[in-house]
Structure 1
Amino acid sequence: MQYVIIGGDAAGMSAAMQIIRHDQHAKVITLEKGNIYSYSQCGLPYLIGQDITSSSKLIARSIDTFRNKYGIDARCGYEVTEIDAEAKQVKGKTVEHHKPFSISYDKLLIATGADPVFPDWSGKHFKGIYTLKTISDAEKMIKGLSRDVQHAVIIGGGYIGLEVAEAFYKRKLKVTMIDRGSRLIKVFDSDMSELIHEEAANKGIKIILNEEVQEFKGDEFVQAVETDKGSYKADIAVAAAGIAPNTSFLEHTPVELGIKNAIKVNEYMETSAENIYAAGDCALQYHRLKKAYDYIPLGTNANKMGRIAGMNMIGERRPFAGITGTSIIKFIDLELGRSGLTEEDAAKLGYDFEAVKIKSTDIAGYFPGKTPLWVKLIAEKGTKKLLGGQVIGRNGAAKRTDVIAAALYSGLTITDLENLDLSYAPPFNSVWDPIQQAARRFK
């Protein structure tokens, strides 16, 4: 049996490892457009911010490890441009020499990920303008910072935008963030986003909202970012305006696409084309709270989906249980955690819901070193079923976010949250965990 996997990062290599561990006779060919396998994209902002001292530390397994230890035919510089589902072949060209190739498969996994969105702004050709997706992107940005750079502009207020803003802040740059929306990181409700805006203001990061970028100004290097309302000085600029699935090569195939042109899959990671699977940032995920497929590209989802895809490709039938939209991000001194639905989500889905927001502390209120912790819970009226939660604070948000995620996965109610036997000692918690304090406020 010949398995072909397009993509050599989280989803692709998670699948490859499942296949070779369960089928010792399998021939696995992986095709990666770049030249690095299995690296942590999530660690790139911390490489830029100098928390991580070397890009090599972000590589989980080298190409040689996959080839020599696991017997995977791991190829670099192979760009797939076409799939012939009827003939069961993938076709494309090598990146360096543009040499055409055609490879047959018995089972195929599409794990092509997603690339940064970079609108066709005027002046985007100037030096000093970057996107962030690969180790090469990060290294180019770090090299660009070796110039006399003082003013940095980040376009977009999502996960990558916030993490790059923190990295530039650590490098002592004057940072401006521009977002066309009314708040940063829209996976949080507006009342929680205010805490993020306050943190930015306290650290001297300028937030520009409700403005559309139109062009870059410069000479050889970028010098300013122009919006529909103003001009902002920039010695370096980063486009962090979201990502788009790498699925354009599927246009003339029977592989069906959905939200944002991500690939539609069933619970077994099967696409609409026979013997073709998909996983990771190029595919949709089933959302347990929304009871529908959604597009939430995160490393945790990609690894789980890849593992499940690999198992199903070798006949170990196992469904993907879905997601609750859990994420956490560090923004300078704050931890920002969330899972499930926001108020906006719940309203769109027609829920009759109520929300409670409290300010508590991460540990016992009388214990030295306590810091503020804000918790917001959303629940369905009547049933009291938990629908979502958001936690922001300097410490302790991660612990509470994971409790919320587990509760959402299990379909717990507000009363169930109150009854959970959570750990307590003054250096770690209050006798009533802040989540339970919030749960007790519901009517």
Structure 2
Amino acid sequence: MKYVIIGGDAAGMSAAMEIVRNEEAANITTLEMGSIYSYAQCGLPYVVGGVIPQTEKLIARTIETFRNKYGIDARTNHEVTKIDPDSKHVYGANFEIPYDKLLIATGARPLVPNWPGRTLAGIHTIKTIPDTEVLLADLKGEIKNVVIVGGGYIGLEMAENLALTGKNVTIVEANAQLAAIFDQEMGEIIHQEAERKGVTLRLKEEVKGFEGTDRVQAVVTSSATVPAELVIIAIGVVPNTTFLEGQPFHRHENSALKVNAYMETNLPDIYAAGDCATQYHRIKKLDDYIPLGTHANKQGRLAGLNMVGKRRAFAGVVGTSIIKFFDLSLGRTGLSEKETRDARLPASSITFDGRDIAGYYPGAEPLKIKLVYHSETNQLLGGQVIGTNGVAKRVDVLATALYQQLTLEELLDLDLSYAPPFNGVWDPIQQAARRA
């Protein structure tokens, strides 16, 4: 059996390793359009901030390890330009490779609109190690004012890390708030933290273009011209699936490949996983697109197992994520109130101000919690938690509760750990549930 995998990062190499573990002397070819395999994209902002000393620290396994230790034909600088599902071949500029089973794990690329001046020097995206190396080299110049376009995951992380290096940072965001995955009252806490740390916010402003001769000098928005010697565009990503145009794949509205629970596309013997594929959302009960490293690794692993005939279904996602933003941790899972309205679910919510540990114990810190629940059944639909400590613990409990479809009453029954240095006798998420 000849396995071909397009893409050499999280999903692709997770699949390759599962094939290696489950099929003796497997014939695996992986095709990576770049020169680096298996690295932690989520760590890139922290290299820029100097928290992680160099990009090499983010590489999980080298190409030589895949080749020499695991026997994978791991190729670099091999960009696939076409596939032929009928003859079962993949094609590039200088190669043609047959397959029996094919995995498409091509990830996603940063979204960059056709703004005037977008090709000026000093305008960056951050998605790969080479992107980051170019940005680091550029930051060695006379850079004082940095504008970040977009206030999502990458925008917030880059704002923090660049501010920590002494840059004047401005975030331009078209929405009324940063981190639109949070509801408005939670977003206000994020705004306060940004302003406390000296980050300038320009909300409800759309980028119209960039000014400069050879290098960017300003960002032109719907309201102002903002000086900038360096710009980072972080407004989201789009799936890397354009090379499949003309093929009869079933697709999501953003061109991600639709897959079933076994990571199979609608074409025989072709699988997809990671940021180029959809993820089933357990609460929405439909195919969604939430491109995160956790999902890519899980989907890749299951794709590998299913490719070797070990049927294992992907259980789906509930939209769990956490972001570090200066002194705050921003965690959420499930649906926000806005998402329940979009899904036409009858929902109510409760917002609770608690403490991360017992209130009488030294060092107790505020914890803002919002629970969203079904108005008729009291089933938990989502949760948002913001604070300096203890956020991850609560978000992970809520994510587990969502997987088990618990109601608020059942949330109160959970036997959660307690000692004054770690928690109150009632966990704050249970206190919120009681208030609801």
Check whether TM > 0.5.
Answer: yes
User: Which residue matches 1:283?
Assistant: 277
* 2:210 alignment partner AA: F
- Corresponding position: 1:351 with 2:354: no
Alignment of 1:52-63 (within 5 A): 52-63=52-63
Q: Which amino acid aligns with 1:337?
A: G
Give the corresponding residue for 1:211.
205
1:65 alignment counterpart: 65
Q: What are the residue-to-residue correspondences of 1:108-187 with 2, within 5 Å?
A: 108-187=102-181
Q: How many residues align?
A: 436
User: Which one-letter code corresponds to 1:430 in the other structure?
Assistant: G
Partner of 1:41: 41
Answering whether residue 363 of structure 2 is matched by residue 369 of structure 1, we say: yes
- Consecutive aligned runs of 4 or more in structure 1 exceeding 2 Å deviation: none
- How far apart, in 2, do the equivalents of 1:305 and 1:378 lie? 28
Normalising by structure 2, report the TM-score.
0.99
Please provide the CA RMSD for this pair: 0.8
| Aligned residue in 2 for 1:96 | none
Report the 3-state secondary structure (helix = DSSP H, G, I; strand = E; otherwise coil) of the residue aligned with 2:275: coil
Partner residue, 2:380: 386
Q: How far 1:347 sits from its partner (Å)?
A: 1.4
Aligned to 1:259, the other structure's residue is in SS state: coil
Q: Is the 8 A contact 1:259 1:284 kept in 2?
A: no
Whole-angstrom distance in 1 between the partners of 2:85 and 2:213: 48
Match of 1:259 in 2: 253
Instruction: Find the aligned partners of 1:374 and 1:223 in 2 and give their Cα distance.
Output: 39
What is the aligned counterpart of 1:325 among 310, 319, 329? Answer: 319
Distance 1:432 1:189 in 2: 25
Structure 2 gap ranges (5+): none
Q: Deviations over 1:52-78 (max 9, x none)?
A: 001111000000000000000000000
**TM-score relative to the length of structure 1:** 0.97
SS in 1 for 2:38: coil
Q: Deviations over 1:235-267 (max 9, x none)?
A: 110000110000011111122211311001000
Map Cα deviations across residues 77-103 of structure 1 (whole Å, 9 max, x no partner).
Answer: 00001010000000012xxxxxx2110
CA distance in 1: counterparts of 2:212 and 2:389, whole angstroms: 42
Write the distance in 1 (CA, Å) between the matches of 2:78 and 2:281.
33
Aligned-partner SS, 1:350: coil
Alignment pair present for 1:75 and 2:75: yes
For residue 403 of structure 1, give the secondary structure of its aligned residue in structure 2: helix
> How far did residue 355 of structure 1 move?
0.2
Contact 1:18 1:307 in 2 (8 A): yes
Amino acid at match of 1:109: L
Aligned to 1:97: none
Query: Aligned with 1:162: secondary structure?
Result: helix
- The offset of 1:382, in angstroms, is 2.6
Partner of 1:85: 85
Q: Which amino acid aligns with 2:78?
A: Y
> Residue 23 of structure 2 aligns to which amino acid in structure 1?
D
1:274 and 2:268 correspond: yes
Report the Cα offset of residue 25 of structure 1. Answer: 2.9
Residue identity opposite 2:19 in structure 1: I
Contact 1:85–1:254 at 8 Å: present in 2 too?
no
1:301 aligns with 2:283: no
| Equivalent of residue 222 in structure 1, options 212, 216, 238 | 216
Identity among equivalent pairs (%): 56
**Counterpart amino acid of 1:374?**
K
Partner amino acid, structure 2, of 1:104: P
* Paired amino acid for 1:37: Y
Which residue of structure 2 aligns with residue 28 of structure 1?
A: 28
CA distance, structure 1, for counterparts of residue 228 and residue 319 of structure 2: 34
Structure 1 regions of 5+ residues with no counterpart? 94-99
Q: 2:354 aligns with which of 360, 364, 367?
A: 360
> Residue 187 of structure 2 aligns with which residue?
193
- d(CA) in 1 for partners of 2:30 and 2:381? 39
Secondary structure of the 2:17 match is helix
